[in-house]
């Protein structure tokens, strides 16, 4: 029997070509770049005609007078970001289910994706249903479901005799996530909120989201605490979630993403405008690539947990690009109007469309 023996030079060339091919796929960091103003091809859909945008994200309908925030496009350094193609996305996911799992920032991204897809196929039939905390948007012509599981902490909040208990090592709600074709997780928004230190917006919406966001005690194993270091609690909860992923996800069936830490803009000192106490009146992003105030500490905690997970999870590392968009929040043009300053969520159309555009580009390169 004859054997083919490769010459060492040939082997080196094959490895080089293989590495070069990998570089073409993975070398572009979609999350490092800058915002470009007045792109005539933006926004990616007309927010006045998308029927799925809830009031808190519908800045134009709520009276925001400036429109420049709609026309910024994200340009990664050293490569091109393919424009979101809703028709192609639906074809790729025909017969499949996508689920966002997280707090209202997940809802922000979920509504963005439904608008992007419906704008691509405006005549397609769809249904929208909600059962308990799970909302399902179905494109029946494609058999595509885009779901949202409203889950603030990922780990469980259980009502017991002593009150609501946040259980950092329990994740029974994971039963909703099994068998999904694409999962996009998110949590952080509520981990560091407490009492009167909350921005006015959070005090305003606490009434409507109290069942999901409030807890009276924290439990770890058999130990129950009135409170604990929130960053440590966040890390413990993420570790529990990571264990769930390792135990339950089949990478051959399911793509898993984690929406990175979505930032807020309540302190102008962070973007070199110390006289500003909120995002109110901001009409343009920072046009460089670096945010003066640096990254939130939660980013390091999240990346630390993801570095130890065994199953493949892709981080949608949207923190820095979103930090640059101090102009992208509803401010007084959100749910609370002038009684609630929202510098945490994002107008639609807006920044979450770019999160979904990057998600689409990662799918193209998968």
Read off the tokens for 297: 């500490």
Does residue 176 carry a catalytic annotation? no
User: Which strands form 144-150's sheet, in the order they lie side by side?
Assistant: 126-131, 134-139, 144-150, 97-102, 182-185, 255-259, 314-316
Catalytic residue among 104, 262, 278, 344: 104
Give the number of C-alpha atoms closer than 13 A to the C-alpha of residue 334, restricted to the C-beta side. 26
Can you list the alpha helix ranges (DSSP code H) found in the chain?
8-26, 86-92, 104-120, 200-213, 230-248, 297-306, 319-323, 351-364
Reduce the DSSP state of residue 76 to 3 states and report it.
strand
Give the β-pairing of 217-220 and 163-167. Answer: parallel
Any idea what DSSP says for residue 67?
A: -
d(CA 200, CA 336): 9
Does residue 247 carry a catalytic annotation? no
φ, ψ of residue 33 in degrees (nearest 5)? 175, -150
Query: Which H or E element spans position 136?
Result: strand 134-139
Catalytic residue among 156, 345, 349, 353: 345
Give the list of residues 6+ apart from residue 226 with CB closer than 8 angstroms, or none.
217, 218
User: Which strands form 156-160's sheet, in the order they lie side by side?
Assistant: 156-160, 163-167, 217-220, 223-225
Does residue 345 carry a catalytic annotation? yes
Catalytic residue among 342, 344, 349, 353: 342
d(CA 151, CA 186): 9
| Catalytic machinery residues | 104, 342, 345
């Amino acid at each position: 029997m004859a054997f083919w023996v490769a010459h060492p030079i040939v082997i080196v060339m094959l490895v080089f070509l293989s590495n070069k091919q990998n570089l073409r796929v993975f070398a572009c960091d979609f999350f490092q770049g800058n915002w470009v103003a007045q792109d005539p091809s933006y926004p990616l859909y007309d927010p006045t005609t998308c029927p799925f945008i809830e009031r808190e994200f519908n800045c134009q309908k709520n009276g925001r007078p400036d429109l420049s925030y709609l026309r910024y496009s994200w340009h990664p350094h050293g490569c091109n970001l393919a424009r979101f193609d809703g028709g192609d996305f639906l074809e790729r996911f025909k017969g499949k289910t996508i689920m966002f799992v997280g707090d209202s920032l997940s809802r922000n991204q979920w509504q963005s994706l439904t608008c992007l897809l419906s704008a691509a196929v405006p005549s397609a039939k769809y249904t929208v249903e909600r059962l308990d905390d799970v909302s399902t948007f179905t494109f029946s012509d494609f058999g595509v479901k885009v779901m949202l599981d409203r889950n603030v902490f990922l780990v469980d909040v259980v009502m017991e005799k002593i009150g609501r208990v946040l259980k950092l090592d329990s994740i029974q709600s994971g039963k909703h996530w099994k068998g999904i074709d694409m999962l996009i997780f998110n949590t952080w928004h509520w981990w560091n909120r407490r009492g009167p230190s909350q921005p006015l917006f959070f005090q305003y919406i606490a009434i409507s989201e109290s069942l999901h966001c409030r807890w009276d005690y924290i439990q770890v194993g058999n130990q129950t605490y009135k409170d604990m270091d929130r960053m440590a609690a966040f890390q413990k909860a993420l570790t529990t979630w990571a264990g769930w992923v390792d135990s339950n996800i089949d990478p051959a069936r399911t793509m898993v993403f984690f929406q990175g830490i979505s930032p807020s803009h309540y302190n102008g000192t962070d973007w070199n405008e110390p006289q500003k106490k909120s995002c109110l009146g901001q009409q343009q992003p920072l046009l460089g690539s670096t945010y003066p105030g640096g990254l939130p500490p939660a980013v390091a905690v999240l990346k630390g947990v993801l570095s130890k997970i065994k199953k493949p999870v892709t981080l949608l590392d949207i923190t820095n690009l979103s930090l640059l968009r101090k102009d992208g929040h509803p401010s007084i043009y959100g749910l609370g109007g002038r009684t609630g300053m929202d510098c945490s969520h994002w107008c639609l159309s807006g920044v979450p469309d770019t999160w979904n555009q990057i998600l689409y580009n990662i799918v193209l390169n998968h």
